[in-house]
């Protein structure tokens, strides 16, 4: 083991991606945004005019994609077949399409296997919807991050505006609610909290406050396992 296996699950817009990257940076670990992998497949399907209701077709397409992560000074970048798609996978259209893509069992099997291969040696922080329940059910530390849907919608709306993407606040909140419904009700690996996960409600907390709480819990666990 090169370190702990840490998972951060929770609904869309709860701050998982930011906290995954910042916690990994503090610990010197790899940050693995599993949601970005599904988004990359959704982007590939969108570009290929793939019928996203046809899971067999989508699964075949998924198996043909190469998804990589690259750390740069400004942060983690997501590569799809060598192309930096870090911004392209964050549009509202791709966000909604991702829910449909991720409901395909074949796609989930392919990507879960890749995630397990990346994180097996430890020293990794994974974030997504099922990292603590399906990908690494025996992870050393599991977090479940949540926040009020209106607050999550507002955060996503501000994020889109900051990137120059036109968006309506009410529509963004409605899309967030629809994403929650799809994620929690899909048949394969629905969004759910692991029984042994530490729940953090970030509705009224800053990113730094949540990060400090997470780091404290992780360092206690690492000390217990004799990992520095």
- Cα–Cα nearest to 157, from 171, 146, 139: 171
**pLDDT of 39:** 94
Give the angle 119-120-123 at the CA atoms, nearest 5°.
55
Residue 4's pLDDT is what?
A: 96
Q: Domains along the chain?
A: 5-222 (3.40.50.300)
Residue 127: the pLDDT is 93
Return the pLDDT at 69: 83
Which two tokens mark 84? 């930096």
Q: What is the mean pLDDT of each run of 10 residues along the chain (228 residues)?
A: 89 90 91 91 96 93 92 80 94 87 92 92 91 95 94 89 86 88 78 92 94 96 88
* Tokens read off for 153: 């919608």
Contact 3, 123 (CB under 8 A): yes
| Contact (CB, 8 A) for 31 and 76 | yes
Alpha-carbon distances of 171 from 11, 98, 177, 220, rounded to whole Å: 17, 17, 10, 42
Which pLDDT does position 111 carry in this prediction? 95
Alpha helices in the chain (DSSP H): 16-27, 34-47, 55-63, 92-102, 105-119, 149-162, 169-185, 207-224
pLDDT for 37 equals 94
DSSP state of 132: I
- Tell me what pLDDT residue 1 has: 52
Q: Which of 181, 180, 145, 174 is nearest to 157 (CA)?
A: 174
pLDDT given at position 13: 85
């Amino acid at each position: 083991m090169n370190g702990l296996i840490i998972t951060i699950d929770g609904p869309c817009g709860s701050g998982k991606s930011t906290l995954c990257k910042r916690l990994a940076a503090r610990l010197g670990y790899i940050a693995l945004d599993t949601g970005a992998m599904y988004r990359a497949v959704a982007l590939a399907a969108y570009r290929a005019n793939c019928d996203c209701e046809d899971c067999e077709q989508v699964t075949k397409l998924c198996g043909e994609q190469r998804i990589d992560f690259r750390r740069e000074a400004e942060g983690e970048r997501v590569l799809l077949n060598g192309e930096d798609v870090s911004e392209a996978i964050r549009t509202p259209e791709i966000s909604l399409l991702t829910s449909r893509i991720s409901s395909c069992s074949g796609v989930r099997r392919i990507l879960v296997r890749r995630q397990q291969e990346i994180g097996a040696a430890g020293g990794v922080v994974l974030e997504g919807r099922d990292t603590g329940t399906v990908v690494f059910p025996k992870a050393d530390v599991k977090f479940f991050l949540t926040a009020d849907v209106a607050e999550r919608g507002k955060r996503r709306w501000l994020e889109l505006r900051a990137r120059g993407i036109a968006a309506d606040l009410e529509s963004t909140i409605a899309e967030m609610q629809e994403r929650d419904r799809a994620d929690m009700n899909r048949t394969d690996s629905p969004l759910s909290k692991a029984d042994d996960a530490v729940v953090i409600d970030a509705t009224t907390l800053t990113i730094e406050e949540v990060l400090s709480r997470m780091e404290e819990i992780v360092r206690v666990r690492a000390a217990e396992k004799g990992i520095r």
